[in-house]
Structure 1
Amino acid sequence: MTAHQHPVVLITGATSGFGLATAKKFAEQGYPLILTGRREERLQALSSELSALTDVHYSVLDVRDSEAVTAFANNLPERFKQVAILVNNAGLALGAESADKAKLSDWHTMIDTNVTGLVNVTHSLLPVLKAQQSSTIINLASIAGNWPYPGSHVYGASKAFVAQFSRNLRSDFAGTGVRVTSLEPGLSESEFSLVRFNGDQDKYDSIYEGTNAIQPEDIANIIFWIAEQPAHININSLEVMPTSQAWDSFKIVKQ
């Protein structure tokens, strides 16, 4: 199957982590790609690499900027206008301290990216997604949206929004060709975590040592599997952990 026979895939946050691995996975299978991110040099390099495999269009985009997102969606090249798979991957976590020690600016950045950015991109693409015979929206949530843990505060709350937003979209489009999935990874090793720890490599290493954590390629494989399901199948939500991670007993603090 050539790139021209595959549906167009749009991936936000494509310059690192899950987004980068997902772009490579779809490119290997010949899917035409729209890649967005904030780092132009990385987008250029990735586009050059993947253009040998498929058609690629990239755009420097800050998903938090609603006007920029609308302009981006309205001005896609003709070849890429019929987006049928949207991977809402752009997101971040900042800080792992308790809420009283967190920076308010970090909270705002997480909300603006993980919630507002997701809403901006989804709203701008819904008309074209609805126009397709079959389309798929895959939203990157997190186990942090399902299970509380110390230091998760706004990050976990923002990912709970992603999961519930996905379910609500699913309700809106039940019986149509639009499919919606909330993908909820657990302990994952990528540049995402270095950002959270403010570039502290020692802290990063100490958390992941010996865990055999989820890798970006693992999530890319799952995203591809979701998108490849028959049109009458919807994966509502999918929570994924490495085998080294599981639930623990509730904390009891003696007063």
Structure 2
Amino acid sequence: MRQLYVIGIGAGDPAQVTVQAIEALRRVDVFFVIGKGDAKQELVEVRTAILAAHTDRPYRMREIPDPPRERMVGDGDYRGVVEDWHERRAALLEEAFAETDGVGGILVWGDPSLYDSTLRMVRRVAERGAQRFDLEVIPGVTSAQALAARHRIVLHDIGEPVHITTGRRLREKGVAPGESTLVMLDGECSFTTVPGDDLHIWWGAYLGMPDETLIEGPLRSVEDRITHRRKELRDAKGWIMDIYLLRRVD
């Protein structure tokens, strides 16, 4: 039975990689990478820098083309679309496992437990039964933690919960009273749809990377600035990773 590591590598800063992750990196013979296209070549470079900084043993990279994801019209069957995409990704991952030998590793931005599909795909491969492996998961610093650290804040108020959600869910549910809301995977600036003049926002893009950008303030005062800056950055780089926290203030 082969060994497979799924390793959280933080939000982009090589210094955020944990000692446990470094130890795992140094055991890997082949890293499986799901390609994100030329637009996200910078992510490849950051990943390469992390490996260069933390391991000096020979390793191989096995790139797996990311299958296209069906575009939904309106609300559509979101879960069904994602399940189909994960199934096709798992089939390609299984094929890559079959064609390579040695200790395997998959690098995950942030932490594998938070809005990442890697563990779901690996589980699908294991359930198929053709490839047998011993899986070890290494936690990483999340973008949520990086956002809080860079803004020097606590994610929740005293005795309150913090709700982690997506832009799509924020548009549907809004911000609950007495709850700080952390929003990920929002490509539509959904904060502009949330009512309330008492909301404060802490926003960050490319956390831990050279182009890191931070904006915070009363939502109604800074939402246009964030929307404009986000479009500028995305147009310039061809991609963007951002996250934000919303909280009602007195």
Name the TM-score class by shorter chain.
Answer: 0.3 to 0.5
TM normalised by structure 2 equals: 0.34
Which of the two has greater strand per residue?
Answer: 2
Q: Which has the larger radius of gyration?
A: 2
TM normalised by structure 1 equals: 0.33
Which of the two has greater helix per residue?
Answer: 1
